């Protein structure tokens, strides 16, 4: 289980020498609270500032619903086969 703080640490380390893109596979995520959502948004913005794309893949139905309800879906790049 990866916490928001752990995720932030790992992505921030990668952003010290940013690649063109960072892909986060969220297939195993079954819970995400406001701290997790905020972390995804902050990391996406940090990546963007370094001209790196932060892409979320395998985002489950639960998290898609949460992102829709909070209005954050449009703030994040999501690449799912079944999600438009």
In a domain, 4, yes or no: no
* Domain hosting residue 64, numbered range: 28-83
* Tokens found for residue 25: 């596979």
In a domain, 10, yes or no: no
Note the pLDDT tens digit of each residue in 28-81.
898 999 999 999 999 999 999 999 999 999 999 999 999 999 999 999 999 986
Q: How far is CA 38 from CA 8, 55, 59, 81, 82, in A?
A: 10, 15, 16, 24, 24
- Structural domain tally of the chain? 1
In a domain, 7, yes or no: no
Note the pLDDT tens digit of each residue in 20-30.
999 999 998 98
Query: How far is it, in rounded angstroms, from Cα 2 to Cα 17?
Result: 22
In a domain, 22, yes or no: no
């Amino acid at each position: 289980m990866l916490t928001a703080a752990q995720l932030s640490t790992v992505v921030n380390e990668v952003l010290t020498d940013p690649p063109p893109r960072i892909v986060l596979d969220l297939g195993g995520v079954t819970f995400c609270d406001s701290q997790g959502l905020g972390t995804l948004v902050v990391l996406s913005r940090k990546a963007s500032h370094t001209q790196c794309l932060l892409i979320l893949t395998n985002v489950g139905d639960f998290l898609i619903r949460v992102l829709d309800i909070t209005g954050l879906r449009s703030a994040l790049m999501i690449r799912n086969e079944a999600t438009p």
